[in-house]
Amino acid sequence: MITVVGCRSGREVVSFALAHGEDPVAGLERRGWAGRVEAVEGVLGALTLRYVVEPVEHDVAPGEPAGPEGPGLSHAERLRIEPHQRVAAYAVVVAHGALLLTQLAPRTGAAGRWNLPGGGIDPGEAPVDAVVREVAEETGQVVDEVRLVDVMTQHWVGRSARGLEDYHAVRLLHTARCAEPTRPVVHDVGGSTSDARWVPLDDLSSVEVVASVSVALRAVGLA
């Protein structure tokens, strides 16, 4: 369960459980608030996203998140789709003018493209601990000073190699420091990562990244 809490002037003014497929900022706006994320607390299974909020000054249309649609799906197919939510933690790690990236393995849906290091949070694990673990597993790098930057979500309904999906991705974006960068090594062999590399920021156009990388770089002011 993920709880979204909005505070104004140090006082809690709005709180709700994040619905499947819902974006926390959109959920706040539906309830009359605009906010920016301040912190994430707890562990997977009982996460709280804390936002600093202000009242929305324009009319907001009421309503709940839309249910699964999915282009080309029949009504019967939409009814039998099992919703799946994945909460993951990623990090923008920059050292000596280079960005740490991981290449997605053939078993993923974007084989060969490059992503930020990170991945799914384990049950009972805190997001900061997940960042440190995932970076070490996927690249062999040791990071600290992990800080939350943004929460990015994506809701997708349709057919994939796994069949019918109603997939809600909740990505907790962080920055992290690598005080002693080394040559990246993938320790989690057979997982979602096939390679890892420090890519100079000036050469990012030379690698094909997934769309969320560009969004993340804009969020931290690197694009």
Mean pLDDT value across residues 194-215: 95
Q: What is the DSSP string of 147-184?
A: EEEEEEEEEEEEEETTEEEEEEEEEEEEEEE-SS----
Can you tell me the distance from the alpha carbon of 43 to that of 21, in angstroms, rounded to the nearest whole number?
20
Task: Please give the structure tokens belonging to residue 216.
Answer: 């993340």
Task: Provide the mean pLDDT of the chain.
Answer: 90
Which CATH number describes the domain made up of 77-219? 3.90.79.10
Q: What is the pTM of this model?
A: 0.88
Q: Where are the domains of the chain?
A: 2-55, 77-219
What pLDDT, in 10s, does the model give residues 16-33?
A: 999 999 999 999 999 999
For 48-74, the pLDDT digits (tens) are 999 999 999 765 555 555 555 556 667
State mean pLDDT over 6-14. 96
Give residue 86's pLDDT. 93
Residue-level pLDDT at 160: 67
| pLDDT tier at 191, thresholds 50, 70, 90 | confident
Q: What are 81-125's pLDDT values in tens digits?
A: 778 899 999 999 999 999 999 999 987 778 899 999 999 999 999
Tell me the two tokens of residue 221. Answer: 């002011």
The beta strand positions in 42-142, using DSSP E, are 47-55, 83-95, 98-104, 114-115, 118-120
